[in-house]
Amino acid sequence: MRIVASALVLSIPILTAAEAARGETLTVTLSHHQVRITSTYTGAELAVFGVIGRDGATAPRSGDYDLVVTARGPRANTVLREKRPFGPVWLNDAQVKFYDLPVTMAVLSSRPLDEIADVDLRRRYAVGLDTTRASNIAPPGAAVREEEFREALIRLKTQSNLYVQDERGVSFIAENVFRATVPLPATAPPGAYEVEAALFRGGVRLAVTQTSFEVTKTGLEQFLAREARERGLLYGAAASALALVFGWLATVVFRRD
Amino acid sequence: MEFYLPIAEMPVHVGLVLAMSAAVGFISGMFGIGGGFLMTPLLIFIGIPPAVAVASVAPQIAAASTTGVLAHWRRRALDLRLGLVLLAGGVVGTLLGVLFFNAMRRVGRLEPIITLSYAALLGTIGGFMLVESVRAVLRARNGAVVDPRRRPRPRWFGLPFRMRFPQSKVHMSVIPPLAVAAAVGFVGAVLGIGGGFLVVPALIYLFRIPTAVVVGTSLFQILFTAIAATLFHAATNHSVDLILAMLLMFGGVFGAQFGAQAGKSLKGDSFRLLLALILLATAARFVLDMVVEPREPFSIMLSEVLP
């Protein structure tokens, strides 16, 4: 894993935070806004830095701030299937389709989520993996087990490191300055990622702000992916030609007679 | 060392993929089978998306069978005429198989039935070959030399449209090999496998082709099937990962080269014994896959990334 946490703390735009009129404001910035996929890419980490701003009227109560940083990857339609026994064989039976679901998600917080806000509030603001919202269409019969499918989905996603929840993932480096590290697994797809930071105190959300970054293939990886998509037949012909050349070369190299 | 695969969208260990493909290539070159039925599950096991695994194995099979075909061609262990007959039958069978597959998908639930009957077929052929070849090995140890080709000529050799296959030293009707190739092509298209490991026993037992010629001829047919599969996958699902395919080719061709050389010193009966074990192991894998209770009943099937 590559940690690219440059000394960006100094350049956090504190000015914009100070301009806000009342109550707390939140400003965040990322260590970088583009992650480039090269041939040696094995995932990355992005540092999130943030500043909590207060106007003069707000009493300084920094110790009890809670922060939740949520990074969501590109969205996809995802089908979850369940195997059931039919006589001696196990076959896929029920399936539920989750629409518009983030492929990756990282929920980082300064404290356990349940201590930050109650579940109703967390549901309303989609804070935490367990509040993942996705419209889904279940076949009749499976509908009643929606919760079970949702749990299975999050379990599978967590097992493959695509979903992460870290209740110690946000740390304060000064009274009102915090940082978090968003992990990006190697299997995270290219696309647009959004990062949302929410400030809580005493179970109430005080402020929220968003930023984003992009994961893109570069160089050879970008070229191959584009050719495969746009000129499929030519790409296939090139792969076939390469196969013939490889096969022929091997006989030349190993020729004994 | 890790390498990022642009289509699979994940990194893989270069050494691991090379070792796996060399091992499968060895078996492929030795027995005249494509090896996709071994390679694809291995790739899925290390996390490659199934669609990418299936599509990227096709060029590897093409490369490994090119090596095998050239090696056998040089030793004159390839019946070009028989290979072309098999190819013609295979094309027709594959087309019918694709049509059937699409119709089947609309009905649903037929897939497990086909997989089970396929496993039963593999198990039966493998079991028969095992018994036959163990007997042959035992008899050979007792000094008796028995060639399965010595048994009386089957009656179907006498069907119309007879053709002489000098390389294989048989004179028979082209109808049976066409039918067998079509059947294998059909099954292969339905199950998404090449079916080379069904062609090989058919050539040995049904058509009495010498083992040496069987391997080269089977690889010849597989070469064309694999190129067609590569073009088809690249044009329709765009899921051929060229970087993965190159790693697989690299390991595969070297493995196949050594496999072809190892196969040369293998006697006919031990060849059939080893192939029987491969068929039985494959059948067992298909059955276990369906019968054993899965540790995780849920699976994520498909994930279409939205723009």
pLDDT band with cut points at 50, 70 and 90 for residue B213:
confident
The 10s digit of each residue's pLDDT in B85-112 is 999 988 888 888 878 877 776 665 666 6
DSSP state letters, A114-160: HHHS-HHHHHHHT-SGGG----EE--TTTGGGHHHHHHHHHHHHHHT
List pLDDT tens digits, range B229-251: 889 888 888 889 999 999 999 99
Residue with tokens 């089978």: B33
**Which amino acid, one-letter code, is at B140?**
A
* A contact residues 195-254, partner B, Cβ 8 Å cutoff: 217, 220-222, 224-225, 228-229, 232-233, 235-240, 242-244, 246-251, 254
Which chain B residue has the Cα nearest residue A104? B305
Domain carrying residue B250: 2-291
- Compute the half-sphere exposure of residue A215: CA atoms within 13 Å on the CB side of its CA: 27
**Torsion over CA of A118, A123, A124 and A127, rounded to 10 degrees?**
90
| Residue type, position A81, single letter | R
Task: Report the residue from A100, A236, A239 with minimal CB separation from B306.
Answer: A100
pLDDT digits (tens, 9 = 90+) for B156-199: 666 777 777 777 777 788 888 888 888 888 887 777 676 777 88
Mean pLDDT of B272-296: 86
Q: Which of B234, B246, B294 sits opposite A236 (nearest CB)?
A: B234
Please list the helix, strand and coil fractions of chain B in percent, rounded to the nearest 5, in that order: 75, 10, 20
Query: What percentage of residues in chain A have a pLDDT greater than 70?
Result: 83
Query: Is the CB of A77 less than 8 angstroms away from the CB of B303?
Result: yes
> Residues near A215 by Cβ (< 8 Å), separated by ≥ 6?
A34, A35, A37, A184, A188, A189, A190, A191, A193
pLDDT on residue A164:
94
Q: Do B230 and A152 touch (CB under 8 A)?
A: no
Mutation target for B interface from A254, A256, A257: give the one with most B CBs within 10 A: A254
For B72, name the nearest residue in chain A, comparing CA atoms only. Answer: A251
Say if B119 falls within a structural domain: yes
| SS3 (DSSP) at A170 | strand
Burial of B143 from C-beta contacts in 10 A (0-12 / 13-18 / 19+): exposed
| Residue B64 with chain A: CB contacts under 8 Å | 247
pLDDT at A239 over 60: yes
Among B144, B7, B15, B167, which Cα is nearest to B79's?
A: B167
Q: Is residue B167 part of a domain?
A: yes
pLDDT band at A174 (very low <50, low <70, confident <90, very high): confident
Contact flag B250-A74 (C-beta cutoff 8 Å): no
Number of domains in chain B: 1
Coil/strand/helix, residue A7: coil
Place of tokens 């584009």: A226
Predicted local confidence at residue A171, as pLDDT: 93
Residue A107 has pLDDT above 50, yes or no: yes
Interface confidence (ipTM) of the complex: 0.82
Q: How many other C-beta atoms are found inside a 10 Å radius of the C-beta of residue B277?
A: 14
Q: Half-sphere exposure (CA, 13 Å, Cβ side) for B265? A: 4
B296 domain-assigned? no
Say what the pLDDT of residue B149 is. Answer: 53
CB atoms within 10 A of CB A50: 23
Query: Coil, strand, or helix at residue B141?
Result: helix
CB B77 within 8 A of CB B266: no
Q: Which amino acid is at B129?
A: M
- Mean predicted lDDT score pLDDT of chain A: 83
- Chain A with chain B: Cβ pairs closer than 8 A: 195
On whether the CB atoms of residues B217 and B82 are closer than 8 A, the answer is yes
Burial class (CB in 10 A: 0-12, 13-18, 19+), B145: exposed
Query: For B275-286, what is each residue's pLDDT tens digit?
Result: 899 889 888 888
pLDDT of residue A143: 59
Nearest alpha-carbon partner for B95 in B182, B6, B23: B182
- Per-residue pLDDT tens for B13-61? 999 999 999 999 898 888 878 788 788 888 988 888 888 888 898 899 8
> How far, in Å, CA of A161 to CA of A155, rounded?
10
| Residue B242 within a domain | yes
Note which residues in 88-107 of chain A have CB less than 8 A from chain B: 88-92, 95, 100, 103
Of A103, A186, A246, the CB nearest to B305: A103
A92 CB neighbours in chain B (<8 A) are 299, 301
pLDDT value, residue A5: 41
pLDDT of residue B136: 84
B77 band by pLDDT with thresholds 50, 70 and 90: confident
pLDDT band at B142 (very low <50, low <70, confident <90, very high): confident
Nearest CA-CA partner of A248 in B189, B67, B227: B67
Question: Is B241 contained in some domain?
Answer: yes
Which of A41, A100, A242 lies closest to B11 in CB terms?
Answer: A41
Q: Nearest C-alpha of chain A: how many angstroms from B272?
A: 26
Beta strands in chain A (DSSP E): 3-4, 24-30, 34-37, 44-54, 66-72, 75-86, 89-102, 105-109, 136-137, 163-166, 170-174, 177-184, 191-201, 204-217
Taking CA–CA distances from A154, the nearest residue in chain B reads: B300
Using the 8-state DSSP alphabet, how is residue A181 labeled? E
B302 falls within a domain: no
